[in-house]
Amino acid sequence: MLLADLILIIHVFIVIFIISLFALVPYGYYKKWDWVNRKKIRYTHLLLMTFVTVESFVGILCPLTILENVLRGDISDQTFLSKYLSKIIYYNFPSSFFLALYFTGFLVAIYLSFKYPPKK
């Protein structure tokens, strides 16, 4: 159960990373923050957004979600931590909603790469 909670925490941090960079890149560019221009951060963001979009388009579950579910054995047997973190990142919407959301996010990530290009 502890390992499943750890996977969920990592998953939440990845979600926070992806979402926060949509706002932090333009703001950080304006404020001249060096870290928002780092290629590793920016390409990681674009890669993750691409991965999420492709897996949604293909109709497969996120490997972290699969791993977490396998480690739990039964998703209903959740700890306090996993119960509330799961509510943050899992919603009961149709898959077409997520596909549209992820594709839009993917397009925004590409836009940010051109509008605020990473630097060496």
pLDDT tens digit string along 66-101?
888 888 886 555 555 566 667 777 777 788 888 899
- Torsion angle in degrees (nearest 10) through CA of 24, 25, 26, 27: 40
For 92, the token pair is 């009961």
Residue 120 within any structural domain of the chain: no
The total domain count for the chain is 1
Range of the domain at 9: 2-115
Q: CA triplet 14, 16, 22: central angle to 5 degrees?
A: 110
| Cβ atoms 86, 78 nearer than 8 A | yes
Domain assignment present for 74: yes
pTM here is 0.79
> Which residues of the chain fall short of a pLDDT of 50?
none
Helices (H), the chain: 2-31, 39-58, 63-72, 80-89, 95-115
